[in-house]
Amino acid sequence: MPGCRLHLLVGTVSLAFAACGGKVADSTVLRESFDSGDTYSRNLEVAPAQACEAARRALLSQGYAVTRADAGSVEGSKNFQPKDEVHEQLLLRVSCVGRADGRAQVFASAVQERYALKKSPTSASVGVGAVGSVSVPFGSNDDSLVRVASRTVQDALFYRNFFGRLQQYVEEVAAPQIPDGVAR
């Protein structure tokens, strides 16, 4: 009978979650699969520093502002404004790790953040001798962007396109460099 009690307990907990308006299976953590797909990584035939230089060039070629770049990682961001009071930012992080054979394994992860314009009325306080201070609105608003959403981009086509562009620059970075003034 201990097995029946366990099933009863699991069923009760599941019903409690459902009664609160959610389902156990709706959890983001439960949907994370850690499958063996290669959506977020690729193996390249160059050294890690060359792979990160190619990633930097790929981001620059698509209008990203590179905020950090070194031999092991690159970060870049790009801003969008799909509506008047909505701002979106796409942040792409790339890590270049050496494999045992000296070649690079490149990992990429993009985060999309959404911001909304929030208005808050501004008022001033005026001190009045016998009454104290009085707060008087004077008709202006302070506008600020507030983050309202953040998500990791999981679109396989987005990463496939990024790695395709990266590969174009890998070939350029890996080509033997010919000094200026030397006949080609």
Tens of pLDDT, residue by residue over 133-145, are 655 555 556 677 7
Summarised one tens digit per residue, pLDDT across range 101-129 is: 999 999 999 999 999 888 776 655 555 55
Task: Tell how far CA 161 is from the center of its chain.
Answer: 16
pLDDT recorded at residue 164: 96
- Whether the Cβ atoms of residue 72 and residue 61 lie closer than 8 Å to each other: no
Torsion of CA 145, 151, 152, 158, to 10 degrees: -80
Helical H runs in the chain?
2-19, 28-31, 48-61, 156-174
How confident is residue 7, by pLDDT bands cut at 50, 70 and 90? very low
Domain ranges for the chain: 39-174
pLDDT recorded at residue 147: 85
Average pLDDT of 86-91?
A: 93
pLDDT recorded at residue 125: 58
Count of C-beta atoms within a 10 Å radius of residue 106: 24
pLDDT recorded at residue 89: 95
The residue among 86 and 44 whose pLDDT is bigger is: 44
Summarised one tens digit per residue, pLDDT across range 20-78 is: 444 555 566 666 667 767 789 999 999 999 999 999 999 999 999 999 999 999 999 99
- What's the chain's length in residues? 184
pLDDT recorded at residue 86: 87
| pLDDT over threshold 50, residue 13 | no
How confident is residue 177, by pLDDT bands cut at 50, 70 and 90? low
CATH number of 39-174: 3.30.530
pLDDT recorded at residue 174: 86
